[in-house]
Amino acid sequence: MFFASDNGSPVPPEVLAALARANEGYARGYGADEIMAHVTARLREIFEAPEAAVFLVPTGTTANALALATFCPPWGAVFCHTHAHVAEDECGAPEFYTAGAKLVLVPGAHGKMTPETLAPVLARTGAGGVHSVQKGILTLTNVTEAGTVYTPAEIAALSSMAREAGIPVHLDGARFANALVATASSPAGMTWKAGVDVLSFGGTKNGLMGVEAVVIFDPAKAWEFELRRKRAGHLFSKHRYLSAQMEAYLAEGLWLRLAMHANRMGGLVAEKVAALPGARLLHPAQANIVFADWPEGRHGPARAAGAVYYDMPAEPRREAARLVASWCTTEADVEALIAALTP
Ligand SMILES: *Cc1c(COP(=O)(O)O)cnc(C)c1O
């Protein structure tokens, strides 16, 4: 009954087997390993982007912060949703790595900004000339922090506003695979075809031991990213072990199968939690993350029965929770959770 986060899941056997295979003999360090060449080729193929630059980093925070730093000057504004991971969960890493760019929050229901909420923030930023931070970069998150998803058309609409404002677009895809399968989109359709310049391509939340890729669609930015990654201390010496995880993730559609399962289990949690007496979903559950509330009195018994999840702030006399399904959540786990939450 582990629903605290999808990072609590173990590593799929295919990935551990790939690590064991990679553990034979010698390999060049610092990303010059042969497996990394396959990873780059495979991601270029998956994204229909033969020129794209691909880098591996150990955490999503690193991926986001270094991507933003590469595309946004220190005097820039990083436009992000009010509850974006970059704003609430990265301990100031984006500000640190950009050398002080300012996060400018864009509101929007259910974790999503819209053209209507973005427009006024874009319009007023930089209006004070030299006295203001300048428009720097737009960053979107898909799957969002509220468990909703942007469709490629929604991303394209926001990106075109960024383009008109003369700034690039970053996508935080810590759960990119979950967003893709939720919208039945293509990787290219969700990214460069929708105006995305740089992607944090998640692996860890979807089963890897600890690897994210940064995919840069404009190869002219690649060298700067490489320098920033090294300078930040995030260029792995024994890099083949990162490469091997990502290669296994991309082989035979494993990344999509894992996400499909997580989303299916998330859908099951949403359906069954919503049916509990007096319960409501707080956001549309469109991938593997479910936010719900219910009349108070269930956290205690559910915890006592072994359910693990995060409490969320709730209205008086109610309790709220965030419940996350992962690649290895089973229907039996969901049934046990529902039994534990049933009055
Ligand atoms: C988990 C997560 C990240 C990356 O977090 P790390 O803990 O640094 O790996 C980034 N963005 C979102 C939306 C996330 O959920």
Q: What is the 3-state secondary structure (H, E, C) of 231-285?
A: HCCCCCCCCHHHHHHHHHHHHHHHHHHHHHHHHHHHHHHHHHHHCCCCCEECCCC
CB distance 155 to 140 below 8 Å: yes
Distance from the alpha carbon of residue 174 to the mean position of ligand 1, in angstroms? 6
Indicate the top mutation candidate among 61, 83, 97, 288 to test ligand 1's pocket, ranked by most ligand atoms within 8 A of CB: 61
Tokens of 268: 């099951």
Nearest to 71 by CA among 201, 233, 220: 220
pLDDT value at residue 50? 98
Residue nearest to atom 2 of ligand 1 (CA): 174
CA–CA distance, 7 with 10 (Å, rounded to integer): 8
List pocket residues of ligand 1, CB cut-off 6 Å.
59-61, 64, 85, 141, 145, 172, 174, 204-205
**What residue ranges of the chain are covered by domains with CATH 3.90.1150.10?**
255-341
**What residue ranges of the chain are covered by domains with CATH 3.40.640.10?**
12-252
pLDDT value at residue 252? 96
Nearest ligand 1 atom to the CA of 212 is: 9
Nearest to 106 by CA among 72, 138, 132, 65: 138
Residue nearest to atom 5 of ligand 1 (CA): 60
Distance from the alpha carbon of residue 61 to the mean position of ligand 1, in angstroms? 6
10-residue stretch averages of pLDDT, the chain, 343 residues long:
96 98 98 98 98 98 98 98 98 98 98 98 95 98 98 98 98 98 98 98 98 97 98 98 98 98 98 98 98 97 97 97 98 97 96
Nearest ligand 1 atom to the CA of 61 is: 8
Nearest ligand 1 atom to the CA of 7 is: 1
Distance from the alpha carbon of residue 182 to the mean position of ligand 1, in angstroms? 19
CA–CA distance, 92 with 12 (Å, rounded to integer): 32
CA distances from 184 to 30, 150, 153 (A): 35, 12, 12
Nearest ligand 1 atom to the CA of 90 is: 8
Tokens of 87: 């704003």
CA–CA distance, 77 with 95 (Å, rounded to integer): 10
Distance from the alpha carbon of residue 114 to the mean position of ligand 1, in angstroms? 22
Nearest ligand 1 atom to the CA of 144 is: 13
The Cα angle at residue 160 between residues 48 and 172, in degrees rounded to 5: 60
Distance from the alpha carbon of residue 4 to the mean position of ligand 1, in angstroms? 14
Nearest to 156 by CA among 189, 108, 200, 112: 189
pTM, full prediction = 0.98
Which phi and psi (to 5°) does residue 294 adopt?
-160, 165
Residue nearest to atom 6 of ligand 1 (CA): 60
pLDDT value at residue 225? 98
Distance from the alpha carbon of residue 173 to the mean position of ligand 1, in angstroms? 9
The Cα angle at residue 220 between residues 217 and 226, in degrees rounded to 5: 90
The strand pair at 198-201 and 212-216 is best described as antiparallel
151: left (phi over 0), alpha (psi -120 to 50) or beta: beta
Please name the CATH architecture into which domain 12-252 falls: 3-Layer(aba) Sandwich (3.40)
pLDDT value at residue 86? 98
Nearest to 200 by CA among 56, 40, 11: 56
Distance from the alpha carbon of residue 138 to the mean position of ligand 1, in angstroms? 17
Residue nearest to atom 14 of ligand 1 (CA): 174
255-341 — its CATH code?
A: 3.90.1150.10
CA–CA distance, 231 with 122 (Å, rounded to integer): 32
Distance from the alpha carbon of residue 148 to the mean position of ligand 1, in angstroms? 16
Nearest ligand 1 atom to the CA of 58 is: 9
CB distance 181 to 256 below 8 Å: yes
Distance from the alpha carbon of residue 90 to the mean position of ligand 1, in angstroms? 8
